[in-house]
Chain A
């Protein structure tokens, strides 16, 4: 597609429920990233995927968070047993490559998650 597409754009869920957030990167972009941004805060790295390599999960805040990327394209971020502190905007980005380049990322418009 022309840009990074994320769905849903807004999600309100009850505490304790599981949620799935979807990201469809720019076609041909091999690197895909998930970040989250809490109100008034900076972007917090969660996880990245590069081609067929094992993902870097070093930013995931707890084992309730997981992500997968199927076929090197679409990615799903899953949050199990959501807590109120999970409320944030979850941003997905993609890039032509990862290391050794000066490419920036292109972000999707994000999913605003509210846990009530």
Chain B
């Protein structure tokens, strides 16, 4: 089983739509969770950390369900500039000693 799994998409949505991405992780000992954004041929950039109680940053809302080992990202009122690949990231406290483990990403395309 892969450590971090995401639906690769692509998700094609119109401007203004609400879109949600999901992610599951395999290591129940994982303690830190993040969403990164990666534009085409660019490096990943931290979008937001994910906290146990859920957190919001503008149009972006992240949720964590530890019991189900599930993380989500909700984007409201999507913009053309939101088009990117969204990477679910987990800090692994298992064999890789606390490194960040990246999912392969979910591609989002926002159309006019």
A residues whose Cβ falls under 8 Å from a Cβ of B: 33, 35, 41-43, 45, 48, 56, 58-59, 91, 98-102, 104-110
A91 with B43: CB separation less than 8 A:
yes
Highest count of chain A CB atoms <10 Å: which of B97, B98, B102:
B98
Pick the contact of A102: B43, B49, B93, B102 (CB < 8 A): B49
Beta-carbon contacts of B30-48 to A below 8 Å, as 1s and 0s?
0010101000001111100
B96 with A43: CB separation less than 8 A:
no
B73 contacts across to A, CB distance below 8 A = none
B58 contacts across to A, CB distance below 8 A = none
A42 with B100: CB separation less than 8 A:
no
B99 with A45: CB separation less than 8 A:
yes
A109 with B99: CB separation less than 8 A:
no
Highest count of chain A CB atoms <10 Å: which of B43, B44, B95, B102:
B43
Beta-carbon contacts of B15-28 to A below 8 Å, as 1s and 0s?
00000000000000
A2 to B105, CA, bound (A): 27
Highest count of chain A CB atoms <10 Å: which of B32, B44, B105:
B44
